[in-house]
Amino acid sequence: MKVLMLVMTLCLIAGHEVGSLEVATKEKELSHEVLSCYSSEMYPCDIDRNECIPASQVCNGIIECTNASDENVETCGCLPNEFHCNSSVCIDIIHRCDQKKDCVDGADELDCETYSCPSTHSKCANHFCVPNDFFCNFINDCGDNSDEENCHYRECFSTEFPCRNGQCQPNALLCDSIGDCVDKSDEEDCGGNCTKDQISCDNGRCIRKSNVCDGVCDCFGTCQDEIDCGSLACPTGEMYLCKGSKRCINKQYLCDGINDCWNTKVGVDEYFCGKLS
């Protein structure tokens, strides 16, 4: 009987020790977990809830914290192509200095003259920031057309029509009733209603008679203005045949100070003007 009571007492003592050890271990683990949220390798999402994530996952574009604090403006700031208002709001940089208050306090319209655009954008003459690839794209993105000034465009191929704004469009699109050039210049002088100083190309485009047989294809697509030039005869009365070339110009262009014949440095239409009595 005494032996049995001794065994039971030892078991109770052992059980108490094991239980105490488990509680102590859990408290230690919890204490370590709380402390780990304050380490430099961890980011505390919510201390009250003991929620933290690895610091390497902060501002990675993926919300890891339940309160999204790892991806908000206060933590990460704005993207390179955004402007940070004085509040917790980011706006697209294209709205910076656009003469419209997008930030509640109007901070996006302050210091526009000295403000520098990010490397992905360029500054217009009106201080507006637009993406770099918007410059010289034939579209007035700045609003003051400064993004389309001082542009250097390539020469158009023989199979292309040079738009007035510098664009090149396929000849097949000329006078097709669709404005393929941004400035719609591919649809000008179309329809065949030419003046007496013009001729009509097969596509309905009108060109000046003085452009016939001048060595330049003005009837884009067919170049009919440069065909059969060997038998060229200028209309009598109103037209003048440039000497040494196959170019006809209107007599009103004689002695106007402009080399319309293009065949000499001076131009035969201007050569004898000072010598006429």
Q: Which residues contact 265 (CB under 8 A, 6 or more apart)?
A: none
Comparing C-alpha atoms, which of 247, 228, 248 is closest to residue 238?
Answer: 248
Residue 31, in any domain of the structure: no
Residue 56, in any domain of the structure: yes
Residue 163, in any domain of the structure: yes
**Tokens describing residue 30:** 């919890």
From 188, 208, 239, give the residue that closes a domain: 188
Measured between alpha carbons, how far is 197 from 216 in angstroms, rounded to an integer? Answer: 18
pTM of the complete model beyond 0.75: no
Mean pLDDT for the chain overall: 78
Measured between alpha carbons, how far is 266 from 78 in angstroms, rounded to an integer? Answer: 63
Residue 14 has phi, psi (to 5 degrees) of -65, -40
Residue 104, in any domain of the structure: yes
Question: How many domains, in total, are found in the chain?
Answer: 4
Query: 97: domain CATH number?
Result: 4.10.400.10
CA distance readout (Å), 221 to 171, 177, 218: 5, 16, 9
Residue 131, in any domain of the structure: yes
Question: How far out from the chain centre does Cα 161 lie?
Answer: 24
Q: Give the residue numbers spanning the domain of 51.
A: 45-77
pLDDT digit string, tens, across residues 99-139: 888 898 888 889 888 888 888 889 999 988 889 999 999 99
Who wins on pLDDT, 234 or 162? 162
136-163: average pLDDT:
89
